[in-house]
Structure 1
Amino acid sequence: MTAYIFPGQGAQFTGMGKDLYESSAAAKTLFDEANDILGFDIKSVMFNGTADELKQTKVTQPAVFIHSVAVALSSNSFSPDMVAGHSLGEFSSLVANGALSFKDGLTLVSKRALAMQRACEINPSTMAAILGLDDAVVEEVCASIKEEIVVAANYNCPGQLVISGSLKGIEIACEKMKAAGAKRAMVLQVGGAFHSPLMEPAREELAAAIEATNFSQPRCAVYQNVNAKPSTDVASIKKNLVSQLTAPVRWTQSVQQMTADGAKTFIECGPGKVLQGLVKKISPEAEVSSL
């Protein structure tokens, strides 16, 4: 079985999607439609913008989404048995598997990005990558910090877990992780504590937008970040999408479950190859490639 996987924020790069736009009529249509949906020329920023311009919240998430969906929907060979996306990538996967229209998916992604930005402004916060510790140890250290919010946020692959929390909490956690034997405990250059309770204001905003959006029966199961389980039930998909903002991304567990359910090949749709690298660390026997 073949699993198609979709990257999240951080996969963007200057010039992203330009070749696709110039070589595929189907992709060109989607890029042009995206400008109309968003009300600004995101295509120009993606093709010609600087790295700093691409880091703008209102640009980053829609840009990765547009590129990923265009790759999938403009391909004649796109035929998923299952899909999954890392954080933001879950929205890309839902458009690719027919659960959401491109317009509705992009509208939700844009609202999500802006809601997350507002939540970051309310609660200054950050994230850190912890390398070389077992998940259980990282969770234990986070739980030991009572006076601040610090939680496991991204289970990326064995030995690589990203934590999320208040500025002081992350500072304390990084020292404790090093003392516990972490190879690295590195604060990330991100705008806030994504996938943590500090995103609650964004979760409330996104919940209303998702509830008002029409979802269809997907053509195949989506393995969702919140529980790493396959779903084709529209009500469950919507509920899990909302929960995702304040809950951890269980990518390790999702890939393990897809492998257990028969996935032999993982094909990444979108900018970069980060997810392929993670899949190889989680399921070394899997075949990985880009669409």
Structure 2
Amino acid sequence: MKTAWVFPGQGSQAVGMGVDLEDLPAAKAQFDRAEQILGWSVLEMCQGEEEQLSRTLYTQPCLYVIESILADLLMERGQFPDFVAGHSLGEYIALYAARVFDFETGLRLVKHRSELMDAAAGGKMVAMMKFDRETLEKVVEATPDVVIANDNSPEQVVISGTPEAVDSVLSQVSAKRAVGLKVSGAFHSPMMAPAAQQFQEILESVTFSDAKVPVLSNVDPVPATKGTEIKMRLIKQMTGTVRWREIMLQLPKEGVSQAVEVGPGKVLTGLIKRICPDLKLKNVGSLADIS
């Protein structure tokens, strides 16, 4: 039975996540290492105010550290994936789990990424549920300064761009629900190009090893193991669309029969359930979930 591990990104964070891990020696070592790199405590942040934890600057490193620890605990118990994928930020933990880079290298990258994305201002992101895809795609194509940032499922996307452009799309496409995301910038859109340029310089200074297991990337759902190719895909990720719908459709094609969501919440298994109903699903969000 082939298994894919999937790692959630921003939006899955929850106050109290990771607290059950602090007494494990291996986890404690990672939390301590993270504090040295970040200059603040992930555990304290996860037990603080929801508003602060939800700020990009803190959300991304917290999720990276906790999901990495959970992945390590699974591997310590002899469980290994055949494929990995992560949603936006989650791709960094997928790459860590595939041993493309070590824990510290990944955390330093996430720290830089969160700082650049937190500083990006002036954009808007809105999640749309139940809409006519053909109409949406036509309107987005005809409207400058807006893109489909997250293609999460046939019935759920996130559009991203200038507030004016996003509002223009919303006025032309009827959706059952449209929910504004609490983010500072227009993530996964061309508006992130200045931040992406700065981040590319950081990424290029880091060596990516070949992945131990194939990675399905946000910008290209075809599995890859070459470190150079994975890095090129990651460079495009900040401005590119998160092609999660295509990643999910790719899993059965690769012979995957089980997906394990490693991290807080059940966002990704919820999406997979609707698209790939035959896949066996499991959630590992806490120590209690690890058998």
Settle same-fold status: TM greater than 0.5: yes
Structural mapping, 1:126-165, within 5 Å = 126-146=124-144, 149-165=145-161
How many aligned residue pairs are there?
A: 281
Q: How far apart, in 2, do the equivalents of 1:83 and 1:138 lie?
A: 30
Structural mapping, 1:129-208, within 5 Å = 129-146=127-144, 149-178=145-174, 182-208=175-201
Partner of 1:20: 21
Structural mapping, 1:60-71, within 5 Å = 60-71=59-70
The DSSP-based 3-state class of the residue aligned with 1:281 is helix
Equivalent pair of 2:56/2:183 in contact (CA under 8 Å): no
What code does the residue aligned with 1:135 have? R
Q: How far did residue 258 of structure 1 move?
A: 1.7
Equivalent pair of 1:266/1:286 in contact (CA under 8 Å): yes
Partner of 1:6: 7
What code does the residue aligned with 1:133 have? F
Structure 1 stretches lacking a partner, 5+ long: none
Partner of 1:112: 113
Equivalent pair of 1:35/1:43 in contact (CA under 8 Å): no
Equivalent pair of 2:209/2:226 in contact (CA under 8 Å): no
What code does the residue aligned with 1:127 have? M
Q: How far apart, in 1, do the equivalents of 2:20 and 2:239 lie?
A: 36
Equivalent pair of 1:157/1:278 in contact (CA under 8 Å): yes
The DSSP-based 3-state class of the residue aligned with 1:183 is strand
What code does the residue aligned with 1:57 have? T
Q: How far did residue 140 of structure 1 move?
A: 1.2
* Mean Cα deviation higher: 211-220 or 130-139: 130-139
What code does the residue aligned with 1:117 have? D
Structure 1 runs of 4+ aligned residues shifted over 6 Å read none
The DSSP-based 3-state class of the residue aligned with 2:148 is strand
| CA deviation vs aligned residue, 1:66-107 (integer Å, no higher than 9, x gap) | 111110002214301000000000000000111110000000
Q: How far apart, in 2, do the equivalents of 1:290 and 1:89 lie?
A: 15
Q: How far apart, in 2, do the equivalents of 1:208 and 1:54 lie?
A: 28
Q: How far did residue 30 of structure 1 move?
A: 1.1
Partner of 1:40: 40
Equivalent pair of 2:13/2:265 in contact (CA under 8 Å): yes
Q: How far apart, in 1, do the equivalents of 2:187 and 2:67 lie?
A: 21
The DSSP-based 3-state class of the residue aligned with 1:153 is strand
Equivalent pair of 2:127/2:181 in contact (CA under 8 Å): yes
What code does the residue aligned with 1:231 have? A
Normalising by structure 1, what TM-score?
0.93
- C-alpha root-mean-square deviation of aligned residues, in Å? 1.2
Q: How far apart, in 1, do the equivalents of 2:276 and 2:56 lie?
A: 32
The DSSP-based 3-state class of the residue aligned with 2:200 is helix
Q: How far did residue 40 of structure 1 move?
A: 1.8
The DSSP-based 3-state class of the residue aligned with 1:74 is helix
Partner of 2:287: none
Partner of 2:289: none
* Mean Cα deviation higher: 132-141 or 57-66: 132-141
What code does the residue aligned with 2:81 have? P
1:259 aligns with one of 252, 264, 283: 252
What code does the residue aligned with 2:31 have? F
Q: How far apart, in 1, do the equivalents of 2:129 and 2:11 lie?
A: 18
The DSSP-based 3-state class of the residue aligned with 1:267 is strand
Q: How far apart, in 2, do the equivalents of 1:283 and 1:4 lie?
A: 15
Partner of 1:217: 210
The DSSP-based 3-state class of the residue aligned with 2:157 is strand
- Report percent identity of matched pairs: 39
| CA deviation vs aligned residue, 1:172-230 (integer Å, no higher than 9, x gap) | 1111112xxx2122322221111000000111111111111122121100000001111
Q: How far apart, in 2, do the equivalents of 1:135 and 1:154 lie?
A: 13
Equivalent pair of 2:60/2:89 in contact (CA under 8 Å): yes
Equivalent pair of 1:115/1:201 in contact (CA under 8 Å): no
Q: How far apart, in 2, do the equivalents of 1:246 and 1:44 lie?
A: 31
Q: How far apart, in 2, do the equivalents of 1:35 and 1:153 lie?
A: 32
Structure 2 stretches lacking a partner, 5+ long: 285-291
Q: How far apart, in 1, do the equivalents of 2:79 and 2:133 lie?
A: 34
